[in-house]
Chains A and B, each alone.
Chain A
Amino acid sequence: MRTVVIMPEYESWRAAARLLLAQGVVPDDILWTDDAQDASLFVGEETAATVPAASAIKVPPAFMDIARSAAAHSDARRWALLYRLLWRLTLGGERHLLSMSTDRDVRQIQDWCKAVGRDIHKMHAFVRFRLVSVDAATGREQFVAWFEPDHRIVRLAVPFFEKRFAGMDWSILTPYECAHWDGKRLHFTAGVPRSNAPDADALDDLWRTYYRNIFNPARVKINAMQSEMPKKYWKNLPEASLIAGLIAESAGRVQDMLKTEERPAKEAPKNAYLKSLHDMNQTDVTKPNHDSEET
């Protein structure tokens, strides 16, 4: 048994895995641990086995994508599972393994990838930028957001923000890593506490006005809302403070609606366009269709 200590990052795992695989080390002989403090790769107890050349080992490209994504998951067992999959795909001779969603290991890694994918998606959805200043020299608006991801996804998630918000300066702060964009370059710094991020934005009230009025009280479906927007996100969403009130008053609002008097139809106003429309409706209902060959 050997202990492998790596930085909790995909590149660090890959470098170690490549070496171990080249030495033919079987998965059960390795104890993986991460250590964010110690950058040095430590592989205990060197064993020189009959080693296939590293270049001779072919890994399906799909596995590299899976590995990159699963590496961001918070479960400590991911490194061992990734190595076991890598070993089975190569030295284990199960080249078709990734086609087997029914396999226990494959299923587990797919679950982790899905959780990471969802976390990235929710970060894209629920980050809320707050305007903090306008650069006097460049005129660029500067925004700061706070987000608490479940997994180590900041680097996987920020290319989206770079493409979408190129025209403004922004920082996204999280407890473990922060990303910053200044119009030219993306860079990363260490995580910060929540108190470093602004609490509100002048536009939040207007946004809440929109949220309140786009809600339809006649069709309350609380489970549907919560399955997509679980409560853990609410504390960082400016609109979430309205939810309880909107639900509480919805039944009364519908009752009031049902109580209102029916209104008779009003006569058409004098309007040339409306008249032409009514004339058209009287005469030709089936105008020949010039633009579509479809019947």
Chain B
Amino acid sequence: MDINRKLEILADAAKYDASCASSGAACKDSRGSKGVGSTGGAGICHSYTPDGRCVSLLKVLMTNACLYDCHYCINRRSSNVIRARFTPDEVVKLTLDFYKRNYIEGLFLSSGIIRSADHTMELVIEVARKLREEHQFRGYIHLKTIPEASQSLIALAGSYADRMSINVELPSQQSLDTLAPEKNLARTEEAMGHIRGKIDERYAEKRKPDAPKPPPFATGQSTQMLVGADASTDAVILGCADKLYTAHHLRRVYYSAFSPIPEPSSILPLKAPPLIREHRLYQADWLLRFYDFKVEEIASTATPNLDLALDPKLSWALRNRETFPLDVNKAPREMLLRIPGLGVRNADRILSARRYARLRLADLIRLRLQMKKLMLFIITADHHPAKWGLDSDSLRARFLPPPEQLEINFDAPPTPAPSDFLSVRSGEL
């Protein structure tokens, strides 16, 4: 099988992993070496495919042969996709060739599990070792980790990688038992705890004054959850994410709407969730991490699923109308962040500007805020929303998109407004 054919199969097999981050790595670069590569900046998206996802890393599997039978996965052993396998040297050469042409930020290497967890982990590590040691590659490396691999191998992988990840895939053991019988949440969390320990250890070493620079280790870990492959509610999914952020300090939890695959498993009735659900989960995730929201405020036992028609912050504001209107000239930062239409950056701009002037509507217009939404929730030096505006039952209706946009299926993919994409990128809601 030639390299082009292998790349077709093993890129196709890797595309269901949503992670694409190339940021947050330690600062390193190629100056003074014979190699190439640098990390430490914000991360760069080198291209975009028509699915709206960025192409940042060469994302491939070592092999798509797999012992496991995860029913949502195209590479499960019951699937009859064509199988292929890279040699470590092939992946090394592809990575370097692509990198030198500035197609990519680095490599995201994962693999189907063959023979055993340790054997598979060794194959993945061998690629990273060659890149780092034989080619002085200083670009970004993200290695998928198998929770059942031995701790020494996970530690070795971490010494070559900038980012590690183990996908929890589904938020409860009950769902895993049905859909991914080989996977175990407790073991995954144990491995995440081990990786977190290693990451923390290195940070502690680095902070010691006058200590020599500690050996490299990945600076962060992430995970992915599938949305819509099981019956888990958004409250359960966000609860699981919140637990992982708190317990293991994950950099990111990725949410991936289950996507139709060829020849689906008979165990998994194929009904794709609306893509907008994935989008709302990302918005809710941002609220948890940067806006100081609690899971119960966004998705509770009473309303366990996010409103698909409205963003979760607006949704929260409409449920908590008594909090508003807020005076942008007086409200503390944590309350400014609760105002629909006001993101972290503009809240900080308001805080900084109001030290010198009483802000008026014209000032906010110059910040290019979404005034139509904002005006209902704020007080400025020259504006107070009519009280009826906040109490009226028609308030929710005012924000609903026209009905036809709510029909979402794969024949007619949804077309969110460009502002939606901006908000998912910047996290500003």
Contacts and interface: CB of A to CB of B under 8 A. Distances in A.
Interface of A: 96, 99-104, 107, 121, 124-131, 141, 143, 145, 160, 162-168, 201, 203, 205-207, 209-225, 227-229, 237, 239, 243, 246-247, 250-251, 254, 256-258, 260-266, 268-269, 271-274, 277-278, 280-281, 285-287, 289-292, 294-295
B67 A269 contact: yes
B214 interface: no
22 contacts: A99-B352, A102-B353, A102-B359, A121-B44, A131-B101, A166-B35, A167-B30, A203-B97, A209-B4, A210-B98, A214-B49, A216-B51, A217-B51, A218-B272, A228-B45, A228-B54, A251-B411, A273-B115, A285-B184, A287-B190, A291-B190, A295-B247
A102 B97 CA distance: 47
A225 B415 CA distance: 12
Interface residues of B, number: 106
Given A207-B103, A209-B4, A215-B51, A164 B30 contact: yes
Interface in B42-82: 42, 44-55, 58-59, 67, 69, 71, 77-80
A83 to B, nearest CB: 21
B126 interface: no
B275 A219 contact: yes
A261 B263 contact: yes
In the A-B complex, list the 6 residue pairs whose CB atoms are closest, starting with the nearest: A292-B193, A224-B52, A221-B52, A102-B363, A273-B116, A163-B29
B194 A292 contact: yes
Given A209-B7, A274-B67, A141 B186 contact: no
B425 to A, nearest CB: 8
A223 B52 contact: yes
Given A99-B353, A213-B12, 16 more contacts: A101-B366, A102-B364, A164-B37, A165-B102, A166-B31, A167-B34, A201-B101, A206-B3, A207-B103, A211-B55, A217-B51, A219-B413, A222-B52, A239-B47, A265-B71, A294-B246
B221 to A, nearest CB: 12
Contact of A225 (B3, B52, B357): B52
A113 to B, nearest CB: 14
B1 interface: no
A248 B115 CA distance: 40
Contacts of B421: 221, 223-224, 227
B418 A227 contact: yes
In this complex, the member of B46, B98, B117, B261 whose beta carbon has the largest number of chain A beta carbons within 10 angstroms is B46
Contacts of A165: 30, 36, 100, 102
B216 interface: no
Given A129-B102, A225-B52, A274-B182, A292 B36 contact: no
A213 B7 CA distance: 8
B122 to A, nearest CB: 13
A201 B97 CA distance: 11
Contacts, number: 275
A127 to B, nearest CB: 5
B148 interface: yes
A207 B46 CA distance: 12
B363 to A, nearest CB: 4
A121 B367 CA distance: 23
In this complex, the member of B32, B50, B410 whose beta carbon has the largest number of chain A beta carbons within 10 angstroms is B50
A256 B410 CA distance: 12
A103 B353 CA distance: 9
A168 B100 contact: yes
A90 B75 CA distance: 65
A211 B190 contact: no
Nearest to B422: A227
Contacts of B246: 294
A190 B175 CA distance: 63
Contacts of B264: 260, 262-263
B29 A166 contact: yes
Nearest to A240: B47
Contacts of A210: 7, 11, 58, 98
B260 A258 contact: yes
B103 A268 contact: no
Interface in B1-37: 3-4, 7-9, 11-12, 14-16, 29-37
A164 B15 contact: no
B294 interface: no
A221 B413 contact: yes
B224 interface: no
A211 B48 CA distance: 9
B151 to A, nearest CB: 8
Contacts of B266: 262-265
Given A99-B355, A203-B98, A294 B247 contact: yes
Contacts of A129: 100-102
Given A222-B50, A274-B67, A278-B182, A264 B78 contact: yes
Contacts of B197: 291-292
B257 interface: yes
Contacts of A281: 181-182, 184
B194 A229 contact: no
A292 B55 CA distance: 34
Interface string B183-200: 010110110111011000
A277 B7 contact: no
A257 B67 contact: no
B305 interface: no
